[in-house]
Amino acid sequence: MANDERALIEINSLKVIFPLDEGTVRAVEDVDLVIKRGQVMGVVGESGCGKTVTAQSIMRIVPDPGRIEHGEILFHRRSPDGTKKEIIDIAKMDPRGSEIRSYRGKEVAMIFQEPLSSFSPLHTIGNQIMEAILLHQDVNKKQAREIAKEMLARVRIPNPTRRLDQYPHEFSGGMRQRAMIAMALTCKPALLMAEEPTTALDVTIQAQILDLMKELQEEFGMAIMFITHNLGVIAQIAEAVAIMYLGKIVEIGPSREIFHNPQHPYTFNLLKAIPRIGKTTGQHLVAIEGAVPGPFERPSGCTFYPRCERIIPNRCDMHNPGVTRVGEGHAVRCFLYSEDTDED
């Protein structure tokens, strides 16, 4: 258990599986992660590496037939005055029970990747934001509407009174993303999870959304779990970074350490693949050879070894590396730093 008083979410040995007719998919495996109060934790990796399923597990919205097979998701809840602390294991809650519904949206909220598909096209933006407010706060409809209007104004949507009565298709992509942020923040959650919140937006709007999230994060004092493929975005916003590959965290540490002193070959290659102004002119972009294996093609040993340029024969292809600490808050899962194994 984490001793840090700032710990908000503490994940221990999390394993999430999807039992299918073709076999069992191990979407998340042996994940340990601590998100601190007020911290921005970046989670990076290619598609299929388990980032979204990890976030869904914290919210207990893993789609069927997926389930948490093993592990803890400890939520360190504090009383409003901050004097008392209660530790709740989210992994043990009924995903459809009343207890999880009081936690989901109030204590922890999520911004989804595509807000157009996340909002109902049949209801106005105002009705959908008010629904979240009425569910978690002791207010009437008139008060809920005022709170919704105030939140739209806080995320810089012009003329919020009129916008409350409009439908999602009447908003631009950037405004829909702002409305999604407003809905997530109505109950002032302790943790905001953002899944690729800027992917579908142009560069100018991306910058505005990132600035807005940093501003609101500082104002509300909340933690953010920022899931993305974009290391450039992570460099701007994250305090710490977790690199995921095929369901496991292969490297984690302070963002400055990850960017200036990467240890895992996967992290090193991800950083090499970023185009740099003036430094890659006339050169081919660096690419990581191969692709993330399919869910039923998981290699034995280290999951990254088929794509690794620094493979140690008869070790990387036969054993699972354990986690090795390489610096203050910096850990890596690789045989280049230790011969410790983490066998099933």
Residue 45 falls inside a structural domain: yes
Task: Going from the first residue of the chain to its last (344 residues), give the mean pLDDT of each consecutive group of 10, the final group possibly shorter.
Answer: 75 95 92 94 91 94 94 86 79 89 87 79 93 89 94 90 94 86 87 83 78 85 90 88 95 95 93 71 72 85 91 92 93 91 67
Residue 234 and residue 132 share a domain: no
Indicate the pTM of the whole model. Answer: 0.88
Residue 184 and residue 196 share a domain: no
Residue from 234, 247, 238, 193 nearest 49 by CA: 247
- Which residues lie across from 192 on neighbouring strands? 109, 224
Q: How many domains does the structure of the chain reveal? A: 2
Q: 90 burial class (0-12, 13-18, 19+ CB within 10 angstroms)?
A: buried
CATH number of the domain encompassing residue 60: 3.40.50.300
Rounded-to-integer distance, Cα 181 and Cα 207, Å: 15
The string of pLDDT tens digits covering residues 217-240 is 888 889 999 998 888 888 888 999
Domain region containing 157: 118-188
Place of tokens 């496991």: 248
The string of pLDDT tens digits covering residues 101-126 is 888 888 899 888 776 777 889 999 99
The two structure tokens encoding residue 80? 């409003």
Residue 101 and residue 21 share a domain: yes
Residue 281 and residue 176 share a domain: no
Residue from 11, 274, 342, 259 nearest 334 by CA: 342
Residue 344 falls inside a structural domain: no
Residue 305 and residue 245 share a domain: yes
Residue from 123, 127, 208 nearest 167 by CA: 123
The string of pLDDT tens digits covering residues 2-28 is 556 789 999 999 999 999 998 999 999
Residue 299 and residue 239 share a domain: yes
Residue 295 falls inside a structural domain: yes
